[in-house]
A and B are shown apart, each in its own frame.
Chain A
Amino acid sequence: MDKSMRGKAAIVGAATFGCGEAPGFTDMELLARAARMAVEDAGLTMADIDGLCTASASATMWAMPVIEYLGIRPTYVDGTMIGGSSFIAHLLPAMRALEAGQCSAVLVCYGSAQRSAKFGRREIVASRRFLDPQPYEMPYQPMLPPSAYALAASRHMYEFGTTREQLAHVAVAARAWAAKNPEAFVRDPLSVDDVLSARMISDPLSVRDCCLVTDGGGAYVLVSAERARDMPNKPVYVLGNGTAIYNRQISCMPELTTTAAFTSGQQAYAMAGMGPDQVDVVQLYDAFTINTILFLEDLGFCKKGEGGPFVASGAIAPGGDLPVNTNGGGLSCVHPGMYGIFATIEAVRQLRGDCGERQLGGLETALVHGNGGTLSSQSTAILGLESTL
């Protein structure tokens, strides 16, 4: 891992728009509103943006209509689409482009009206059968993505004695954080019993073990560390980033209880010269409750197999030793198809001190982790304030 890139770029603007329900908006409109707000937050104008990273769950050539819509002329474009982790995986290549002088301000942006759109989740799932075929899984009609995560959960329960109650604690902790976040889509109280007694989707996962389906847009702006120091916001430096993929399909995952987060995390920690004990707050892609347990283990916050007891101890909930998904996560805050950018934005907001009632004290570092596909792509980033450079 290239340690020389550590801290060479910083996130200097971030914004969300339309999180929750945004009827009457298109994917592009949600993206554009968030993008404009993030650029403004950075103290820049659209004319300053000469790098673009974006991805769409439906449009394969998405960077082109985004460039057209925003009216920008980027000299650096990254349309890498590896699912919800894309917007974290976009970091390191963008840092290299900034370092090489290929561009000077990179906009990373996403928008999806998945909840409200006429062509929404149901239609995308149906069309993916043809556009992204998985001919050796599809005949068995797994409900994807939930069944893939359910299979991994079943194996985790078998190997380590993990329980549905422990999985439920992930959802309960996320909801407790969401209660403190006015932007979170669902803020009602949630108990372990509520999760256990909710409608089953794909055993052992109930509907409360599954993320929300919402609308939403998110964007952030990355510039060189040198330039970041002269900008209005407290820079959030990228200390490390790593991306790893072992498989696309759950049936091809080498081990169902160890994800490629193990590799992406090692890369990110190596680049940052840090370990999990130096991380102050964690934002990770909780598409399903099992994700949080797997990623906490794979990223070294607890031993393999101990994620269940770890989350059940209250460690990740408000007041716990390791705050995780302080916005409420994909489970309770926002999940418009792909969540990675929202995890990143929450980390930036926490480090900048913009989080109101849920703001944590004494933060210097944050870990952001994105997942894509069905436990397929994994990207980890470590962010830090100036004191960590």
Chain B
Amino acid sequence: MNDISAPMGVQEAFDQALKQGRFLVQQCDGCHRHVYFPRELCPHCGHGSLQAVEPCGRGTVHAVTTVRRKPADGGDFNVSLIDLEEGVRMMSRVEGVTPDQVVIGMKVTARVADGIVLFDAVEAQ
């Protein structure tokens, strides 16, 4: 799906998808591992053919920080590294809870807002 063999680089292609509200990662045709961020070749095996695929959207907070910012500038906010179930890691922000409530191991789910991927905490089962 989502053949990105368009006459543009993968960054632009993924950016366009995000602007349409679609979050994509890559999967290598050679070693079948998932790749993020999008690249022109597989960083695992060097293969040059990768497919754009939609991740399931579920992830886990791997590392967390609260960036301190003056209240006048919007106040403190979260920056996290999120491990997706597909086995890739990405930087993002967990929203919907205060920054101090974001903890390592927290289950989160992806959504696209304003052209970037954000995460929300999954309610306790």
Contact = CB atoms under 8 A, between A and B. Distances in A.
A and B, one complex? yes
Interface of A: 135-137, 139-143, 147, 150-152, 154-155, 158, 199-204, 249-252, 256
Given A143-B67, A154-B63, A203-B65, 6 more contacts: A140-B93, A142-B79, A151-B65, A151-B80, A250-B91, A251-B81
Given A135-B11, A139-B116, A141-B77, A151 B37 contact: no
Nearest to A152: B63
Contacts of B62: 155, 256
Contacts, number: 70
A140 B66 contact: no
Interface in B87-125: 89-93, 99, 104-105, 116
15 contacts: A135-B37, A140-B116, A141-B67, A142-B67, A143-B67, A151-B80, A155-B63, A155-B104, A158-B63, A202-B79, A203-B65, A250-B91, A251-B37, A251-B91, A256-B63
Interface in B51-100: 62-68, 77, 79-81, 89-93, 99
Nearest to B115: A139
A249 B36 CA distance: 12
Contacts of A136: 36-37, 90-91
B68 A200 contact: yes
Interface in B1-45: 11, 36-37
A202 B91 contact: no
A164 to B, nearest CB: 13
A202 B64 CA distance: 10
A141 B63 CA distance: 16
A182 B55 CA distance: 56
A154 B65 contact: yes
Given A135-B11, A140-B79, A141-B77, A251 B90 contact: yes
Nearest to B118: A140
A202 B66 contact: yes
Contacts of B37: 135-136, 251-252
- Listed from nearest, the 5 A-B pairs whose CB atoms lie closest are A150-B65, A136-B37, A151-B63, A251-B91, A203-B66
Contacts of A250: 81, 91
Interface of B: 11, 36-37, 62-68, 77, 79-81, 89-93, 99, 104-105, 116
Nearest to A251: B91
A154 B90 contact: no
Nearest to B99: A203
Nearest to B114: A139
Contacts of B64: 151, 154, 203
B65 A140 contact: no
Contacts of B90: 136, 251
A151 B81 contact: yes
B43 to A, nearest CB: 9
User: Among B11, B36, B63, B80, which residue has the most Cβ atoms of chain A within 10 A?
Assistant: B63
A142 B68 contact: no
B92 A154 contact: no
A276 B99 CA distance: 40
Contacts of B81: 151, 250-251, 256
Contacts of B93: 140
Given A202-B66, A203-B66, A250-B91, A151 B104 contact: no
B28 to A, nearest CB: 16
B109 to A, nearest CB: 17
B59 to A, nearest CB: 13
Contacts of B80: 151
A199 B107 CA distance: 30
A318 B99 CA distance: 38
B63 A137 contact: no
B65 A251 contact: no
B55 to A, nearest CB: 14
A254 to B, nearest CB: 9
Contacts of B91: 136-137, 140, 142, 249-251
B103 to A, nearest CB: 9
B63 A202 contact: no
B104 A201 contact: no
Residue from B62, B64, B65, B116 having most chain A Cβ neighbours under 10 A: B65
A141 B114 CA distance: 14
A6 B115 CA distance: 53
A252 B81 CA distance: 10
A249 to B, nearest CB: 8
A249 B81 CA distance: 11
Contacts of B36: 136
A76 B70 CA distance: 49
A382 to B, nearest CB: 31
